Amino acid sequence: MADGASNYTSGDDYLLEFLGYAFSFRSRDFEERVAAAAVKLGLVRSNDLEEDEIADLVELAADGRIAEPRSPLGAYLVRHWERVSLIEGESLVYWLRKLVFRGAYLDHRVKEGLLDVVWEDASGEFAYAEPAGRRALLELAPIPSWRAVQFRG
């Protein structure tokens, strides 16, 4: 387990451990991060999701499953789990969690003064950069895509 100084916290509604780090989140922070992860993976088109859709995604990320779907998105994930859960050997649950934690870890490093947030004209997005100007390596790592099985509800 990493030391407490390396752990991210925004509240204590969700406590998750990942790769030796303990991250605790307030509900809204976790919901926003899970929705953003689902968009980044291509599972959904945008993070403009209904409350029930977010609740289903949060349950999937936190518990590794959706017990009782609340939304058409949740029903789609449960009904097509065999096809959606693994893409080219990559686990949807693992990647939702990884992207949530990756974002929290990068944000925490910004808070510690170890990374800066910069605007990239080429991509039209904010990015993380080391104070020397290089992009953060974690941010550059490849991410699998769920676009082929994207929920289009």
Sorted by where each begins, the domain ranges of the chain are 4-149
pLDDT in tens, the chain (153 residues): 344 456 788 999 998 887 788 889 999 999 999 999 999 999 999 989 999 999 999 999 999 999 999 999 999 999 999 999 999 999 999 999 999 998 898 888 888 888 888 787 887 777 778 877 666 655 557 899 999 999 998
State the pLDDT at residue 139. 58
State the pLDDT at residue 138. 55
State the pLDDT at residue 94. 95
pTM for the predicted model, two decimal places? 0.85
State the pLDDT at residue 3. 43
CA distance 78 to 67: 9
Type of residue at 127: A
- Residue 134 CA: distances (Å) to CA of 98, 121, 139: 22, 15, 11
Type of residue at 67: A
**Residues 35, 48 contacting (CB under 8 angstroms):** no
Burial per residue of 103-118, b for 16 or more beta-carbon CB atoms within 10 angstroms, e otherwise: bbbbbbbeeeeebeee
State the pLDDT at residue 127. 76
**3-state class of 127 per DSSP?**
strand
- Outline where DSSP puts E strands in 14-143: 14-18, 21-25, 86-87, 90-91, 116-120, 125-129
CA distance 102 to 7: 12
